[in-house]
Structure formats: structure tokens, C-alpha cells
């Protein structure tokens, strides 16, 4: 029986959940009865899952790295799992990292060091590692000392993983300064894999939330981080303008969250728009399977969560995007949808975004066809990730044969 460890995923953010499900599905497609462990930062409350999960944290990782000197670091609340996690690490075949976006100076020096410690942990236990598609960089640390320290650690440890997949070109170029032989570029794993099948992750007790969306509907999927990255736009007024334009054109509007921290932001947008009878806030903590189903029923979406955009394109649903990072622009470029991107770090012209809404209303069907045809080409050309999983299977089969 092969043992797989998946790190970086969790259930609070539905993009992280979708990546976790995608990886588990790819493993189960290729291996009979694999033992799968997800090491997560916060407890998974869902019951009857067909994979194992344990909570860990940076202090626990540090204690494992210190070994006999772990007494130098005070145990954390997750240290109850420390011995079990160490036993799993000793027998694991591979660690798969699906962090999404963690190695960057945007989150501070400590966050980058914590990320690199996970690679150090894999190396200590002689466990193969693959870092699956995610965003990287920039690496512009403020302190000269932090820069020297982290650059040194990156040169040591980024060469260890068997593969590192950068999702964007800029991230690829940033990483290439520290490693190259194991570095490849790949689109997001959720986009490149089949839609998740509930029976793979959950037993027969799973009941999908069926949300029937009225015809001629648009979903607004905000991201509370827009407030953090906003230059000086009146965000709530911007959303109100969008909502009013959609209502004038006879659309039904749903506001839904794609992550746990966006609920209050969704409620605030709803309150500010002051159109209670014509706008519906879906407040449920839906899983990524249900969210993908809801999005697939929309004519188009106004999205700010990256994986809500992925779920839209996966279902051939066009999107107007209000974002701030390269990851949005590059993904939209693959689908020839760049003109529908608005950067919250700039002054967004309200007339331009309203004109974009009007254009999408008139051409959503054509944009959907463009997305469909682009996706077919993308999936044909981007198969390196599938090859990695296939090679993993071939490698383990070969090893098993040699040991018999």
C-alpha cells in the first residue's frame, strides 16, 4: 500500500478544498487502496471522508526538524499529533504540496521560512516531494538580513522537490533564479482535472446541496482581500453600479462566498446595494462541488476569487474579474478574456466596468464558446501534470516488482 501526504489544503477556502479533492482523485485513479493523509492547519469537521487528516502547524514542524533538540520549542496545541505525523512521514512515499500561494515576500519573511521548512522536513525524512501548481514570488524582502537568509534557504531546499510547478510565468522566472532542473510551468490542477466525484471522497451518506438557480442569472463572488489591495476605489459603490446595471437588464443576482472569510463582505455588498427583493445572498458554507454546480448555472459571473474563476471556466461560464494579482490576468489570457479584467490596485473607471457588463450581456454566449474552444486546446497542450502522476505510478509499480 502506497502512502501519500498532501499539505497546503484545507476546507475553509473552497479553492483549497477543490485542489485537495483534485489531487485525491488523481491518486485514486492510478493507485488501488492508497493511504492518503492530509496534514491541515485547521480541523476538518466533515464526517465520513474517505481519506485521513491530521492538524499540524509551524511549531510542530519545527519540533520535528529539531529532533532530539525539540525541547527547545514549546509544544503547540497540535503536538498531540506529533508522534503520529512522524510515523507517517517515515513510511510515506511522497509529499504533495498544494499551498496555492505561500512562498512570497508579500506574506513576510516568516511565512517564506515556514514554507521552506516543509521542504526541509521532506528532505529530513527522505520523502519524495512534488510541489503542485501554485503561485510564487515576488521575493522582495525588506530586510537585508531576511533576504540573505531566505535566498540561502531557497538555494538549498528548492532543488530538493522532484518537481515544482509554477502557475504563472512571472513566478516561474522568479523561481528560476534558485532552481531550474526541477521547475516546470503548469496551469492550475483544478482546471486540468475532471470535476470531482463525491463518491471518491465521501461515503454514501453524502448529500449534495442542490441549489436551483433561476434562468438569466449572474453570480457576484467577492473577495474580502479586495479591501486590502484597493487603491482608492469606492468598492461598495462599484458593486452597486454593477448590480443596478444587471437589474436594469432583467437579471437575477446571487451573491455567494467562495471562502469562509468573505461572508461579511457579501452581506455588506448586499446591504449597500439596498435591493433586498432582487438580490439573493447565498450564505451557506457550500463545498466546492456545490459551488461549482451553482456557478455552472450562471450566464456569467463577476468574480474576485481565483478558483471561482477556475470553476467558471471549467463550466464554460464567462467572467468579469475584479482582482489584483498576475494569476487572474494570466489565466484569463489563456481563454482570450483579458478585456474583462479590472485591477483594484488602479483607479477603476466606473464607465468602463459598466460597458464591460453591457458587452458581456450581449456576447456571453459567444464568450462561452470561446472559453470552451480555448479550454480544449489548453487541455491538449498542458499534460505535464498528468504525466507526473502517471510516472509516479510507473515508478512505484517498478519498485514493487523489484522488491518481489
**Which tens digits make up the pLDDT trace of 204-222?**
666 667 788 999 999 999 9
Supply the pLDDT for residue 123.
Answer: 98
* Rounded Cα distance, 6 and 8, in Å: 7
Residue 401 has pLDDT above 70, yes or no: no
Mean pLDDT for the chain overall: 93
Q: What are phi and psi of 166, to 5 degrees?
A: -90, 135
Supply the pLDDT for residue 242.
Answer: 97
Supply the pLDDT for residue 380.
Answer: 79
Q: Mean per-residue pLDDT for 78-89?
A: 96
Residue 276 has pLDDT above 90, yes or no: no
Q: What percent of the chain has pLDDT over 90?
A: 82
* Rounded Cα distance, 161 and 332, in Å: 29
**DSSP 8-class letter at 202:** B
**Which tens digits make up the pLDDT trace of 37-60?**
999 999 998 888 899 999 999 999
* 127 and 162 Cβ atoms separated by less than 8 Å: no
Supply the pLDDT for residue 211.
Answer: 86
pLDDT band for position 369 (cuts 50, 70, 90)? very high
- pTM assigned to the model: 0.93
Supply the pLDDT for residue 53.
Answer: 96
Q: Mean per-residue pLDDT for 177-197?
A: 93
Name every residue whose Cβ is closer than 8 Å to that of residue 91 and which is 6 or more positions away in sequence.
Answer: 3
**Cell numbers for 348:** 477603476
Distance of CA 285 to the CA centre of its chain: 17
**Which tens digits make up the pLDDT trace of 224-261?**
999 999 989 999 999 999 999 999 999 999 999 999 99
Name every residue whose Cβ is closer than 8 Å to that of residue 230 and which is 6 or more positions away in sequence.
Answer: 344, 345
Q: Nearest 5°: CA angle at 27, between 25 and 32?
A: 110
Least confident range from 82-96, 328-342, 376-390: namely 376-390
Supply the pLDDT for residue 402.
Answer: 53
pLDDT band for position 297 (cuts 50, 70, 90)? very high
* Rounded Cα distance, 120 and 64, in Å: 10
* Rounded Cα distance, 258 and 31, in Å: 31
Q: Nearest 5°: CA angle at 47, between 224 and 43?
A: 45
Distance of CA 159 to the CA centre of its chain: 23
pLDDT band for position 148 (cuts 50, 70, 90)? very high
Q: Mean per-residue pLDDT for 321-332?
A: 95
Q: What are phi and psi of 35, to 5 degrees?
A: -95, 115
Question: β-strand 183-185 against 163-166: which pairing, if any?
Answer: parallel
Element (H, E) at 27: helix 14-30
277 vs 318, residue with greater confidence: 318
**Cell numbers for 375:** 479550454
List the alpha helices (DSSP H) in 230-325: 235-248, 263-273, 288-296, 306-314
Closest CA to 151 of 141, 163, 142: 141
Q: Can you list the domains of the chain with their CATH numbers?
A: 3-186+382-402 (3.40.50.11930), 217-379 (3.40.50.2000)
Least confident range from 277-281, 306-310, 352-356, 389-393: namely 389-393
Supply the pLDDT for residue 390.
Answer: 83
**Cell numbers for 258:** 467562495
Q: What percent of the chain has pLDDT over 70?
A: 97
Amino acid at each position: 500500500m502506497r502512502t501519500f501526504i498532501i499539505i497546503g489544503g484545507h476546507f475553509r477556502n473552497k479553492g483549497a478544498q477543490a485542489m485537495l479533492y483534485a489531487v485525491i482523485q488523481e491518486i485514486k485513479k492510478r493507485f488501488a487502496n492508497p493511504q492518503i493523509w492530509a496534514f491541515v492547519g485547521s480541523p476538518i469537521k466533515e464526517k465520513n471522508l474517505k481519506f485521513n487528516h491530521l492538524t499540524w502547524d509551524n511549531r510542530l514542524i519545527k519540533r520535528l526538524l529539531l529532533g532530539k533538540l525539540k525541547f527547545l520549542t514549546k509544544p503547540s496545541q497540535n503536538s498531540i499529533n506529533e508522534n503520529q505525523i512522524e510515523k507517517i512521514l517515515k513510511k510515506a512515499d511522497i509529499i504533495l504540496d498544494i499551498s496555492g500561494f505561500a512562498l512570497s515576500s508579500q506574506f513576510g519573511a516568516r511565512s517564506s521560512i515556514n514554507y521552506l521548512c516543509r521542504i526541509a522536513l521532506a528532505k529530513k525524512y527522505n520523502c519524495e516531494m512534488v510541489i503542485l501548481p501554485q503561485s510564487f514570488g515576488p521575493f522582495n524582502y525588506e530586510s537585508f538580513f531576511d533576504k540573505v537568509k531566505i535566498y540561502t534557504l531557497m538555494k538549498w531546499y528548492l532543488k530538493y522537490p522532484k518537481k515544482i510547478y509554477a502557475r504563472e510565468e512571472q513566478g516561474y522566472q522568479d523561481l528560476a533564479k534558485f532552481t531550474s532542473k526541477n521547475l516546470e510551468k503548469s496551469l492550475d490542477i483544478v482546471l486540468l482535472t475532471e470535476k470531482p466525484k463525491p463518491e471518491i471522497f465521501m461515503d454514501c451518506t453524502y448529500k449534495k446541496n442542490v441549489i436551483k438557480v433561476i434562468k438569466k442569472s449572474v453570480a457576484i463572488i467577492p473577495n474580502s482581500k479586495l479591501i486590502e489591495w484597493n487603491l482608492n476605489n469606492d468598492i461598495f459603490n462599484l458593486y452597486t453600479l454593477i448590480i443596478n446595471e444587471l437589474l436594469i437588464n432583467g437579471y437575477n443576482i446571487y451573491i455567494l462566498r467562495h471562502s469562509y472569510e468573505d461572508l461579511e463582505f457579501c452581506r455588506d455588498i448586499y446591504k449597500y446595494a439596498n435591493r433586498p427583493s432582487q438580490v439573493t445572498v447565498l450564505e451557506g458554507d457550500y463545498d466546492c462541488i456545490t459551488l461549482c454546480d451553482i456557478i455552472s448555472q450562471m450566464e456569467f459571473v463577476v468574480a474576485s476569487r481565483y478558483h471561482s474563476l477556475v470553476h467558471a471556466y471549467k463550466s464554460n461560464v464567462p467572467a468579469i474579474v475584479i482582482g489584483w494579482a498576475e494569476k487572474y490576468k494570466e489565466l484569463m489570457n489563456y481563454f482570450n478574456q483579458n478585456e474583462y479584467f479590472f485591477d483594484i490596485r488602479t483607479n477603476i473607471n466606473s464607465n468602463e466596468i459598466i460597458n464591460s457588463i453591457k458587452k458581456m450581456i450581449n456576447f456571453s454566449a459567444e464568450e462561452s464558446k470561446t472559453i470552451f474552444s480555448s479550454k480544449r486546446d489548453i487541455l491538449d497542450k498542458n499534460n505535464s501534470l498528468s504525466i507526473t502522476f502517471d510516472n509516479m505510478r510507473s515508478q512505484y509499480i517498478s519498485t514493487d516488482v523489484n522488491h518481489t
